[in-house]
Structure 1
Amino acid sequence: MPDPLINTTSDIAVRPVLKRAGRVVMVAVAGGDAIGAERLAELVLTHEGIPGDRHAGFLRPADVRVPWFERNAPIHNERQVSIVSMEDLAVIAGNLGVERVEPEWLGANLAVGGVPDFSFLPRGSRLFFPSGAVLAVMGQNDPCRIAGAEVERHLIGQEGLALRFAAAAKRLRGVVATVDRPGSIRSGETFKLRVPEQWIWQG
């Protein structure tokens, strides 16, 4: 009998749906122009994102992350919510040779724990929270000097972090997500994670 994880017409290996659980360590809102975020006890989500957060909205202007669009052209906002993991932040801190990197320094709206290799969650993964809120992962969040400068600002006497941050945080900067279903997220609660079927298209 054929392997159920193999598409026999093209020999592409398909990994089945995975279900995991994690915990919410921190929630925050990033208002204004500065990258840093302010910790809250509860985060309220609407279909447009987080009210008062600079990334809220159905649309956003195209930037350097999407060079296939004309700069500042209005495009679908896939960056409503920024999520990092405490485990990945610990690795970043180790790469930089510092004691810690706090999630709010990077403008994260949500910091989670208990999910290995969180920054590698594939597009389409979904986080389900007790209130009924659901977040859909849209992709990795690329590190940049702006975030590195904020880390350096908080760690007095650690000059040069801004320049080293992008390399230290590559593929560890977490993910960006959109709101599938409104609700609220509270610090300390658990969530369920659903990772969709995965495969590598050979082209």
Structure 2
Amino acid sequence: MPQQNFPQLTPIDSRIRIPQHYQRQPLISRLVSRYGVTVNITAAMLTPAENYGWFNLQLQGNSEHISDGLLYLQNLGVNLMQLSIPGNVQDNFSSQPFPNSSHKFSPLPIPQHPPTYEIKNGQSYRLRLQICILKDYHQTPIIFDLVSRYGVTVNIIAASLLANQQDDGWFDLDIWGKPEQLFSSFNHLKMLNLPLWIDASSLHGHII
């Protein structure tokens, strides 16, 4: 049987700038679920009040899949600002305090058993939380792991993560999925020992 040649897995760094009207779209999640690209967010600044947000992404995977994913972003109007060899992207943005005081997140007791949900017609549910990205986790593809392992859709609605890896950062996340997917995702984040703040209002009407 002839040997097949597959494109080499090529890690690249990219900076993308996201216009405000796409900041509530799960763009990073789609790079994973639609194009099979391994994505690690190495730096980010995204706030609802700004016209643009940006992400520094390290992308790894089939070269064709990466190209297709970047083309998808460009077709949406997301600006591809830089492509480079890993480690060359710099930024000088100042950090924001954690937790983000503009959001009403509160620490909750860690549940020992899955909550009971009312399922209607295969409906997806939302879990909203804020997660502290400790500086030792800057090279861990947290969002990629949630999407690829548990099949959830993750939307990053706000973020502050510096590229210098000297400070902790934070993400505000909307995680969509079936109840068992959400609980597995939550357990995964717990096991990483990252501080979590849950927005309990996102669960209202779903837990019985």
TM-score by length of 2: 0.24
TM-score by length of 1: 0.25
Structure with a larger share of its residues in helix:
2
Structure with a larger share of its residues in strand:
1
